[in-house]
A = this chain, B = another copy of it.
Amino acid sequence: MELYTTENLADQTILLPPDESFHCIKVMRHRVGDVICVTNGQGRICECTIVQADSRETVVSATSCRDEARSGRFRLHIAAAPTKNIDRFEWFLEKATELGMDEVTPLLCAHSERKVVKDEREEKILTAAARQSLRAWFPQWNPLTPFRAFLQAHQAHDSLKLIAYCGNEYEKKSLRTMLETTHLEQVIILIGPEGDFSPEEVKEAVDAGFIPVTFGSMRMRAETAAVFAAAAAALL
């Protein structure tokens, strides 16, 4: 089964955007009368029958719609510094989306070797992965954010705020214990660049209420740690 996407699922008659129409009619060779699934990426998913098979603007009619609740005990927001090799970061985006990540923010850190990301490209990767795994909720993508600005934007205590780093200046809690015992609705996890967070960044994060966590004894690459965090959130 494939999952198509369009912004407006309010009416019974639904228009698929050009790229979706092309994929549906030209690539998948669907015809009038075929049944497909369409989501708005915001929890709503409709089973639809194709009434007009047009590779630029396909028209479908919703036969049944449902609004899916988010899965998971909490909403997962991963804020990670993009890796120097963007393939590794994009691999994390795809995998963490398959594992249920709800929001992702690329961070600009003191030791960041990569200082630019292509929003449109990364959003496409998130959407493709979400569709591949038939998610009715697509992850939210945020623009590249300087580390300090991210801390300032998340000062409220309505989330479990965690920071993963390699240094030992602070006592670290176990990621597993923190995730297992939280009753908060959102978990935010900070993952640093290849060169790790700077000591100043770690101090600022701790001062802002982020709790240092350990991922165990394994020595992971930055993007592996980010996927590990998503896997842990999916599992616990």
Taking beta carbons and an 8 Å cutoff, which residues of A are in contact with B? 71, 91, 95, 98-100, 132-134, 175-176, 216-221, 224, 227-228, 231-232, 234-236
Contacts and interface: CB of A to CB of B under 8 A. Distances in A.
Q: Which of A132, A133, A234, A235 has the most CB of B within 10 A?
A: A235
Given A95-B227, A100-B218, A132-B219, 12 more contacts: A71-B217, A91-B91, A95-B224, A98-B218, A99-B220, A99-B228, A132-B221, A176-B235, A216-B235, A227-B227, A228-B231, A235-B235
A100 B87 CA distance: 22
A98 B221 contact: yes
B218 A133 contact: yes
Contact of A216 (B216, B228, B234): B234
A5 to B, nearest CB: 16
- Sorted nearest first, the 10 A-B pairs with minimum C-beta distance are A231-B231, A133-B219, A98-B224, A98-B220, A134-B219, A228-B231, A232-B235, A95-B224, A71-B217, A100-B218
A154 to B, nearest CB: 25
Nearest to A132: B221
A235 B227 contact: no
A176 B234 CA distance: 11
A219 to B, nearest CB: 4
29 contacts: A71-B217, A91-B91, A95-B227, A98-B219, A98-B220, A99-B218, A99-B220, A99-B228, A100-B218, A132-B219, A132-B221, A133-B219, A133-B220, A133-B221, A134-B219, A175-B235, A176-B235, A216-B234, A216-B235, A218-B234, A227-B227, A228-B231, A228-B234, A228-B235, A231-B231, A231-B232, A231-B235, A232-B235, A235-B235
Contacts of A132: 219, 221
A235 B216 CA distance: 8
A133 to B, nearest CB: 4
Contacts of A235: 175-176, 216, 228, 231-232, 235-236
Contacts of A134: 219
Contacts of A219: 98, 132-134
